[in-house]
Amino acid sequence: MHQRRIPEWLRHAPAPSVRGFAMLAGTEAMARGILISVMPLEMYRALRDAALVSEVYFMVGLLSLITGLMVPFVSRFMPRRWIYVSGCAMFAGGATLGAQGGALGMIGALALITAATVTIFVCFNTYVLDYIAKTELGRCETSRMFYSALGWTMGPWLGVTLLGIWRPLPFIMAAAAALTMMGLFLYMRLGNGRLITRARRPAPNPLAWLPRFFAQPRLVAGWVFAVIRSCGWWAYVVYLPIFAVEQGLGEDLGGMLLSVSNGMLFLTPLMLRWMQRHSIRHAVRAGFLMSGLLFVFGAVLSGLPWLTIASLGCASVFLVLLDVSAGLPFLMAVKPSERTEMSAIYASFRDVSGILTPGAAWLVLLVAPLAGVFAVSGIGLVGCWHLARRLHPRLGAVRVPMEAKAALNISLPLTRKTG
């Protein structure tokens, strides 16, 4: 009698790998990339005021910050896999709401998509820390960027193009990509992550971890790097398209620029090799210094709009370098027993930058033109270049085990004597 063999992928969940996480990040990039250039344009169309757009982004950032910090608390009552699935569903729901249009519809869509993004990000980082060794984090980050490159490169241009064909179309595409991400996650069957030790008491309120976070300077510095890097992207993604519209350069320019800039993600393997040849510290400092100077240069040349756009376009190349390198100081300093809580705190960089950038822009626009936002962003990036001087020169280098060091110390004198 024939016995039907159960497929291997049904009997055993696929082993989580760098490639698997990179594919998951790639589907997220498709969903977010299509809307990243559409949302600022649609918000500006609905509100017709850059300062009011900044105010809305500021309030949504506050909501998203609370959401990210509450993920560990929610994980006490809901398995992590269902939190991730809920984030995908929220993203699809937000995109569907955005397809309806109108000022209230766009504000609601922005709130749902932003909260979904931070929820997915917290869970994703925790899974990475569970399954990827510290020595592989650099390769994992680079693979994540490389697999995301197509979504981030084609998405912004495609989103603006589809918007011109039929307004709801980019939102429908983003919702479909979010549901695809959910399907891939369920196929990978990551579960709730690895159990390091069985908890003896319920997890505390996530805010209770803040003193522990602030007591570790390396975590604080790594988080600051992530915040300011994200502020640079905020200024580029949100305010550069508005700057182009105000200067009469057209609505399509912002999406095309973002697509070209994100095309640099295909160079992340080369950036990784360059970083490995030098050091994480060198890459982080170079990225912050060059992007900051180019942002300031673009602000000074705001009377010549095309030069401002060219300068910020060059700055985006160094922001991509920071995407590869600037998150590693934090990830390499996290203790295994604190992964979920510290991942939630780390994920707050998106929301803090989402509060800080529009909040600062809101104030700047009261006294200065839009180019002032670029100047303030550049000053912040240069400030992080100064802070990064404290990073360890050999951060991220593969360490030689103590046993190997001891053997080396013993064998070398013997080699000399016998020679």
The CATH number of the domain holding residue 340 is 1.20.1250.20
pLDDT average per 10 residues of sequence, the chain (419 residues): 50 64 88 88 84 86 82 82 92 93 88 91 82 72 79 85 90 94 86 47 57 83 90 89 83 78 77 81 90 95 91 91 81 71 75 85 88 93 89 58 40 36
Q: Does residue 405 lie within any of the structural domains? A: no
> Residue 217: its pLDDT value, please?
83
> Residue 350: its pLDDT value, please?
76
> Residue 365: its pLDDT value, please?
87
> Residue 3: its pLDDT value, please?
53
**Residue 107 lies in domain:** 14-193+208-399
Q: Does residue 307 lie within any of the structural domains? A: yes
Q: Does residue 369 lie within any of the structural domains? A: yes
> Residue 295: its pLDDT value, please?
96
> Residue 234: its pLDDT value, please?
87
Residues in the chain: 419
Q: Does residue 46 lie within any of the structural domains? A: yes
> The pTM is what?
0.69
User: Under a CB-based contact definition with an 8 Å cutoff, are residues 25 and 148 in contact?
Assistant: yes
Q: Does residue 261 lie within any of the structural domains? A: yes
> Residue 210: its pLDDT value, please?
77
Report the number of distinct structural domains present in the chain.
1
Q: Does residue 2 lie within any of the structural domains? A: no
Q: Does residue 408 lie within any of the structural domains? A: no
Q: Does residue 41 lie within any of the structural domains? A: yes
